Amino acid sequence: MLIDTHCHLTHERFRDDLPEVLSNAARVGVTGVIAVASDLDDARVVEGLVGGDPRDGRTPRIWGTAGVHPHTASKAPDELPERLGEFADRGAVALGECGLDYHYDLSPRDAQLQVLDDHVEAARSTGLPLVVHCREAEKDMKEVVRGAARRGVRGVLHCFPGDLDLLEVAIESDWRVSFTGLVTFSSFAGVEAVRRVPRDRYMLETDGPYMAPVPLRGRRNEPALVPHIRDRVAEIRGESPDDVERDTTATALSFFGIEEGMTP
Ligand SMILES: [Zn+2]
Ligand SMILES: [Zn+2]
């Protein structure tokens, strides 16, 4: 029982063969996928994918998120917390992905910070967790995570590259991190973070269609490739793949509050 906690199933690269993508995932034991939205239009499309019963062995169950990626923060709609609340009322299991991306800086940083704060506010009022993207913005992110925790908001730092200070802040704040296929790259600089993170504080994700793990690097990434990430994390931590699978699934179920419908 594996959960891909972050995949962009609405991406155009899945348009032609999504049913096959999902059955391939089910075949290798992926029983759940969190379909992550990049903006509110995308979040409407995500809502159309939600559902499925993993008990037939042919498809994982799919849950959805709603949020505005930092790349498009400057185009976020007005009254964003209220708009996000509407998605929460219709069953979104998390808000995001939101965050800070100072690598590409596609939106001005003050807009990124404001839109991220809107997500924190919506998370506070709905009780949903956040799915957070952070690239080259560790300093500001530490403040955001601490501030969110003071408001009772939990989140996951997705595609975690391994900054140990930020990991410490996340753990102190009862946040989670999740690891992608990045862990399989020889250039991966976060080995120590994978080793140190407590077993109940991290999850696995593909971030498909981006960043396929070795040995499939360069191909389209998809939920069926989660086992590669699980196996590399297990190797780094000196644990068995079964242990990693059990721990990360338990963490995902409780973090997203999605216990129901997952019993085999
Ligand atoms: Zn991201
Ligand atoms: Zn993403």
Residue spans per domain, the chain: 2-256
Is residue 252 very low, low, confident or very high in pLDDT (cuts 50, 70, 90)? Answer: very high
Is residue 149 predicted with pLDDT exceeding 50? yes
Ligand nearest to the CA of 7: 2
Q: Ligand nearest 11 Cα, by number?
A: 2
Average pLDDT over residues 145-154: 98
Q: How far is the CA of 97 from the centre of ligand 2 (A)?
A: 6
CATH topology of domain 2-256: TIM Barrel (3.20.20)
When pLDDT is cut at 50, 70 and 90, the band that residue 54 belongs to is confident
Tell how far the Cα of 56 is from the centroid of ligand 1, in angstroms. Answer: 31
* Local confidence band at 55 (pLDDT 50, 70, 90 cut-offs): confident
Cα–Cα dist 191/148, whole Å = 27
Question: Mean of the pLDDT values across residues 17-23?
Answer: 97
Ligand nearest to the CA of 101: 1
Beta bridge partners of 63: 34
Kindly give, in sequence order, each residue whose CB lies less than 8 Å from that of residue 193, ignoring residues fewer than 6 positions away.
Answer: 160, 162, 163, 164, 167, 177
**pLDDT for 263:** 42
pLDDT of residue 261: 56
Residue 264: band (very low, low, confident or very high) from pLDDT cuts 50, 70, 90: very low
- At 65-99, the pLDDT tens digits run 999 999 999 999 999 999 999 999 999 999 999 99
Predicted pLDDT of residue 260: 53
User: Among 9-18, 119-128, 209-218, where is mean pLDDT lowest?
Assistant: 209-218
Residue 74, classified by CB atoms within 10 Å of its CB into exposed (0-12), middle (13-18) or buried (19+), is middle
**Stretch 244-256: mean pLDDT, rounded?**
97
